[in-house]
Amino acid sequence: MKKSILGMLLVVASSMAIEVGKVPNSVSIDGENGGKTDGTAWSSKMLKGKVHILFYVDPDKKDLNEALSNALKKRHFNRKKYGSVAIVNLAATWMPNALIESKLKSKQKKFPDTTYVKDKKKVLVKKWQLADDNSDILLFDKKGKLIYKKFGKLSPKEISSVLALIEKNL
């Protein structure tokens, strides 16, 4: 009996995990769970129509994939075909939410083409089984299908692969 319950739990958990080659289950972040810096809800349904890169970041690891961020800035991808989303895992840090939220609002003004989102309750960790306390990189095609994922620091070779995938899917 215990084995069958454990087996069912594993099947349910793996069906929620985000998988390359598939459109992930729809998820929203809003209300007490967080949302965009302007207070409105963010939905994964917004990851369609353009190639999107999504950074899901613990504020304590914000610089882990700075090399990728810099490489993306240098490429100047056409914003009509490419979008970027930065979701901050506020529950993964000791820093006060008010401080981080203030920084996010100023970043949103400085970089209006990027959508900044606050995840106050680890919504994506739970719903998509993203790595907690890390820097996660997800790349989606125009249909919202996940075409790349990496939890942790990207190597220079992986950064080149991400840039090539973006180019290919634009």
Residue 96 CB-density burial (10 A; 0-12 exposed, 13-18 middle, 19+ buried): exposed
Cα separation, 116 vs 45, in Å, equals 15
Domain boundaries, the chain: 2-169
> Would you write out the chain's pLDDT as a tens digit for each of its 170 residues?
555 444 444 344 444 689 999 999 999 999 999 999 999 999 999 999 999 999 999 999 999 999 999 999 999 999 999 999 999 999 998 887 888 888 888 888 888 899 999 999 999 999 999 999 999 999 999 999 999 999 999 999 999 999 999 999 99
| Predicted TM-score of the model (pTM) | 0.88
Contact 122, 132 (CB under 8 A): yes
Domain 2-169 fold is: Glutaredoxin (3.40.30)
Q: What single letter denotes the amino acid at residue 73?
A: K
- 51, 148 Cβ separation under 8 angstroms: no
- Interhelix angle 156-169/66-75, nearest 10 degrees: 40
